Structure 1
Amino acid sequence: MDTSSHIIMGLGLAALAQIDPVVANDSTLSQAVLFGTVIGSNAPDFDFIYRMKGKGSYIRNHRAMSHSLLALPLWSVAVSGIIYSFFPGSSLLQLFLWTFLAVILHVFFDLFNVHGTQVLLPFSKKWIAFDSIPLVDPIILSVHFLGFCLLPFFEMGKMFFILYIFIFLYLATRTLSTVVTKRKLQLYFSNSIRIKLIPRISLFQWDVIIETNEDFLFGVYSKGSLVIEHSLLKKIDFPELVSDSKNHPFVSDFLSSTQYAYPFVQTRKNGYLIYWKDLRFRTNKFFPNLAIIAVTSDYKMKNCFIGTLYSLKHYKQVIRQLKKTVILKKG
């Protein structure tokens, strides 16, 4: 989920907290819990501080240790402890419990989109993603907004309890449909190496990546049928050069954040451009999330771009800058 979604969920949890008599009967504690759930709902994303060390550091560490099981109680203790210092008369236990719930739900919901998290760190570096909901889910947001609109008419805690039951049933439905759809595709593409489903906003619709020994197939699964829209042949030119590019810090950071990166080499007048594209994110035949490294004709690696290309204009600007790096070096 994105930041705005986590904030809205934090507000929803503050309303849900009114089902707790200790919170409902103490206005000071209610205020403290409001801060606790909103901040706690965003605490795991405080790993944005890695941006201070550069974009690559942030990409490597986002949704990593900050989203691990070991970090959940630590975030909760830190957030509730700081808030308690401003509301010393409130119940620290209740404040901690509701903050802890907010932190848990942040990581829990992040597990259900295509990015996933490294929730098992430091015991496992595996990325876990259930591919059930989009990064911004309009149904989850709409349910929260409905609840906020109905606050003057119904008891706050009980109403949001019912709404959260609906949200979890909705999440279970999307998750079950993802599992069923993936099994269908695995049976049909029995020779596939792996299949990735990327949930769309519409229910029961996914973008699909099917990896075989020869290629990647990209399509859309909707209403029980799959339409293949694009394919990429698995062919690595200059394999030694590609292998060496993995040692570049930016490329290494990029590869640590995805299990669906694939390299493509483009020959230029004065050298090469190596594209490591994240195949999970596609707009037609364009893959906006990537790392691009410029290499001179004598195989010396120079400048590198890592991140998201937001437009064709942005792409041209990045390529122009990378080409200048190679040309200046050759000159």
Structure 2
Amino acid sequence: MDTATHISMGVALGGLATLDPVVQQDSTLFTCVMVGTIVGSNAPDFDTLLKLKNNAVYIRNHRGITHSIPAVIVWGVTIATVIHTFVPQVNFVHLYFWTFLAVILHVFVDIFNAYGTQAARPINRNWIALGFINTFDPYIFGLHAVGIVAWLLFGADPGITFLLLYFIIALYYVKRYFDKKEIVSKIEQHFDDVESIVTSPTIKHNVWRIAITTTENFYVARAEGGKIKILDQFKRKKLPDHPAMHKALQDDNVQAFIFFSPVYRWEIEESDNYTEVRFIDLRYRSKGHYPFVAVVKLDSDYHIRNSYTGWIYSEDKLQKKLDPLPQ
């Protein structure tokens, strides 16, 4: 989920903690728990700092080790221990429990969007991306906002308020699961040779991006109001035995892209001065454009001169990142 939703979840968990008699009876512990749940609800995303290094490192590692099983335990212990160091008189067990729960909730909700996480590490390194909740879901964020306002401005009981809120959100998740299941069912009825279906819900409740892989083709589709429309079709092609492709596959940006992207196509464009190899993720089509790419430019001797991976919404901006290419 996005940062704003994670923060609101941290506040909500702090309010929910008032159902714990030990927390309810100790205002200092409640304050510590609130700090712990807000920090814990955001801690796994501290790997966003990897963007400061480069996109390849960020893409390969974001929602990776920091969202793993060992990391969840370490985050909870570390945050609770730091807080307890400054306020040693509070009950550590209850502080740790609520902080740990906030970290778990962060990782748990992240598996439901299209980006996903490596939450099962070290058991396996597969990306778990269920693809039926948008990274920013206005309904989920809105419900949290209503609950927080009801508590802080109107004096509603925070424990009961957020218990009810999470019951409603759980029902919402069930609904979204069946929304996706209906879309997948319709696609499987239409195509006899489906190998995979990747769904990406948009911020609009009834609008979904879909990438379909069959034995022969990739299809990019859009579902809106229960109706599915095929927008693009691409022939599936094996990676060619081409020196430019061999070189491109050694590039860090390309390796990060392939590690992250489950469905993509490739292009090779050759000219007198350079060769460009491009990998295009098919999950994020927006206004006819595919913004998540990895591109490598090579000179006439197939030496890599520049490369890029990330989200880019303008071909001019992409070429500016790749140029100037020495003549």
Q: Which TM class, normalised by the smaller chain length? A: over 0.9
Match of 2:294 in 1: 291
Match of 2:44 in 1: 44
| Pairs within 5 Å for 1:93-112 | 93-112=93-112
Among candidates 261, 265, 268, match of residue 265 of structure 1: 268
Query: 1:321: Cα distance to partner?
Result: 4.5
Deviations 1:275-313 (CA, angstroms, capped at 9, x unpaired) = 11221111133111111110112222221112111x42x
Match of 1:172 in 2: 174
* Contact 1:238–1:265 (Cα < 8 Å) also in 2: no
Gaps of 5+ in 1: none
Check 1:321–1:102 CA distance in 2 against 1; reply closer, same or farther (3 A cut): closer
What one-letter code is carried by the residue in structure 2 that aligns with 1:253?
Answer: A
Match of 2:211 in 1: 209
* Contact 1:236–1:263 (Cα < 8 Å) also in 2: no
Match of 2:306 in 1: 303
Indicate whether 1:274 and 2:257 are aligned. no
What one-letter code is carried by the residue in structure 2 that aligns with 1:32?
Answer: C
Residue 69 of structure 2 aligns to a residue whose secondary structure is coil
Query: 1:219: Cα distance to partner?
Result: 1.6
Of stretches 228-237 and 245-254 in structure 1, the one that deviates more from structure 2 is 228-237
Query: 1:201: Cα distance to partner?
Result: 2.7
Residue 255 of structure 1 aligns to a residue whose secondary structure is helix
Check 1:46–1:323 CA distance in 2 against 1; reply closer, same or farther (3 A cut): closer
| Pairs within 5 Å for 1:145-156 | 145-151=145-151, 152-156=154-158
Segments of 4+ moved more than 6 angstroms: none
Query: 1:155: Cα distance to partner?
Result: 1.0
Residue 279 of structure 2 aligns to a residue whose secondary structure is strand
Among candidates 184, 195, 198, match of residue 196 of structure 1: 198
What one-letter code is carried by the residue in structure 1 that aligns with 2:271?
Answer: R
Match of 2:160 in 1: 158
RMSD over equivalenced CA pairs, Å: 1.8
* Contact 1:186–1:195 (Cα < 8 Å) also in 2: no
* Contact 2:294–2:308 (Cα < 8 Å) also in 1: yes
Deviations 1:222-259 (CA, angstroms, capped at 9, x unpaired) = 33321112223334685423243111112112221221
Equivalent-residue separation in structure 2 for 1:144 and 1:193 (angstroms)? 38
Check 1:320–1:153 CA distance in 2 against 1; reply closer, same or farther (3 A cut): closer
Residue 168 of structure 2 aligns to a residue whose secondary structure is helix
Among candidates 219, 225, 249, match of residue 221 of structure 2: 219
Check 1:63–1:11 CA distance in 2 against 1; reply closer, same or farther (3 A cut): same
* Contact 1:194–1:211 (Cα < 8 Å) also in 2: yes
What one-letter code is carried by the residue in structure 2 that aligns with 1:30?
Answer: F
Query: 1:268: Cα distance to partner?
Result: 3.3
Match of 2:117 in 1: 117
Gaps of 5+ in 2: none
Equivalent-residue separation in structure 1 for 2:321 and 2:109 (angstroms)? 38
Query: 1:193: Cα distance to partner?
Result: 2.2
Query: 1:117: Cα distance to partner?
Result: 0.7
Indicate whether 1:253 and 2:256 are aligned. yes
TM-score, normalised with respect to structure 2: 0.93
* Contact 2:294–2:309 (Cα < 8 Å) also in 1: yes
Residue 324 of structure 2 aligns to a residue whose secondary structure is helix
Query: 1:52: Cα distance to partner?
Result: 4.7
What one-letter code is carried by the residue in structure 2 that aligns with 1:266?
Answer: E
Equivalent-residue separation in structure 1 for 2:232 and 2:99 (angstroms)? 45
Equivalent-residue separation in structure 1 for 2:76 and 2:134 (angstroms)? 26
Residue 265 of structure 2 aligns to a residue whose secondary structure is strand
Of stretches 220-229 and 166-175 in structure 1, the one that deviates more from structure 2 is 220-229
Of stretches 166-175 and 53-62 in structure 1, the one that deviates more from structure 2 is 53-62
Residue 163 of structure 1 aligns to a residue whose secondary structure is helix
Residue 228 of structure 1 aligns to a residue whose secondary structure is strand
Query: 1:195: Cα distance to partner?
Result: 1.4
What one-letter code is carried by the residue in structure 2 that aligns with 1:292?
Answer: V
Query: 1:323: Cα distance to partner?
Result: 4.0
